[in-house]
Amino acid sequence: MATPTQVLIVGSGPVTDALVPMVSALGWGSLVTDAVPEVGSGLDAVVVTSHHEDVDGPAIAAALAAGTPYVGAMGSRRTQARRREWLLAHGVTDEALAALHAPIGLDIGADEPGEIAVSILAEIVAVRRGAGAAAASVSARDGSIHPDLEPGTATCPGG
């Protein structure tokens, strides 16, 4: 049996409150912290909802240094610029920053905390499944909906 996806959420607030049950509904594990976390191997995603310079910068730097497959951070373009300056000043390279998803989430027009949580989780799934920035509506895709499965073998999880 595969190890469930492990998501570290750094920060608190309405988006974090919406994320935790959604992460669980996906069968993934989550850990939430308001402090600078120790980021090691074994994490699949680090989601930074914090807007505190003394927490978010170090958390992002640690996640990128650990090679976490998905690292994303909430915040405005101004917040992202501030973080970028901090990260560069603290030894994070431009190459490493290219892996950072910030602002976080797929552009689905999300505005409310639950919608933002859905957009974040959708982006994590897209990255894990290799769709990345190419993620779009299933209706826009040519070919099979489940390209990794033999035709006729896909089943609906609902029955």
29 pLDDT above the threshold of 70:
yes
Section 29-44 average pLDDT: 85
pLDDT band at 145 (very low <50, low <70, confident <90, very high): low
Q: Which residues pair with 31 in a beta bridge?
A: 8
The domain spans of the chain are 6-140
What's the pTM?
A: 0.84
pLDDT at residue 86, as a whole number: 95
CATH of region 6-140: 3.40.50.720
pLDDT at 65 exceeding the cut of 80: yes
* pLDDT reported for residue 141: 58
SS3 26: coil
DSSP state letter for 22: H
Which helix (H) or strand (E) is 73 found in, with range?
strand 70-73
Transcribe 51-90 into DSSP letters: --HHHHHHHHHHHHHTT-SEEEE---HHHHHHHHHHHHHT
User: Would you say residue 143 has pLDDT above 60?
Assistant: yes
Q: What is the pLDDT of residue 71?
A: 96
